[in-house]
Amino acid sequence: MKGVFLWIGLLSCFFFQHCYSFRGISIDPETKTYYVGQFKNNAFSSPAALEVTIQEALNKKIRTETRLIFNDTQPDISFEGSLVDYLVTSEAPKAGESTAINRLTIRLAVDYIVFNKDGSVNEDKGWKSNFSYFYDFDSNIDLSSIEDEAIDAIITQLMEDIFNKAFADW
């Protein structure tokens, strides 16, 4: 008897999975393809090719976490954007007019474009939004020694935020 209930439960999960994503994402069934365009670098003093790293990270996130297929000619949805800011600021002043913590902030401007079947842009479903995240580090540490780690942490969170805005129906 337990076996019957187990099979019913497993079959229910299988069929339910096709109606709803357990990951919390919601993609229109008509949407089958995506494209991530080249990000522009409008930030002062950012590392070389950071915009390419961002583009590749978003492409990988969508490719690995959705059923969508990459299509650079006639996608159903498209992401475009720019690297707006790459800033290091002092955040926690301490006695003697120095700072205890520095903060690296990366800000992106992203356009999410949804296309109609005829190739025209669906203005109602798309959006434009800014995304920003930061990484704090000790002011005694040189940015160049932790820059790769900081960028990876920031980009990981930015990709999660962009992905959730585009695909999570929360």
User: Tens digit of pLDDT for each residue in 77-115?
Assistant: 999 999 999 999 998 776 666 778 999 999 999 999 999
- For the chain, the domains span 27-167
Task: Determine how many CB atoms are found less than 10 A away from the CB of residue 160.
Answer: 15
pLDDT in tens, 18-55: 444 445 788 999 999 999 999 999 999 999 999 999 99
How many CA atoms, within 13 angstroms, populate the side-chain half-sphere of residue 136? 6
Question: Among residues of the chain, what percentage have pLDDT more than 90?
Answer: 75
Global confidence as pTM? 0.83
Nearest Cα residue to 107 out of 143, 129, 133, 88: 133
The pLDDT of residue 7 is above 90? no
Are the C-beta atoms of 34 and 78 separated by less than 8 Å?
A: yes
Q: Where are the alpha helices (DSSP H) in 42-82?
A: 50-65
The domain 27-167 having CATH identifier 3.30.479.30: the answer here is no
Question: 55 vs 58, 68, 99, 105, 158, CA distance in Å?
Answer: 5, 16, 33, 18, 11
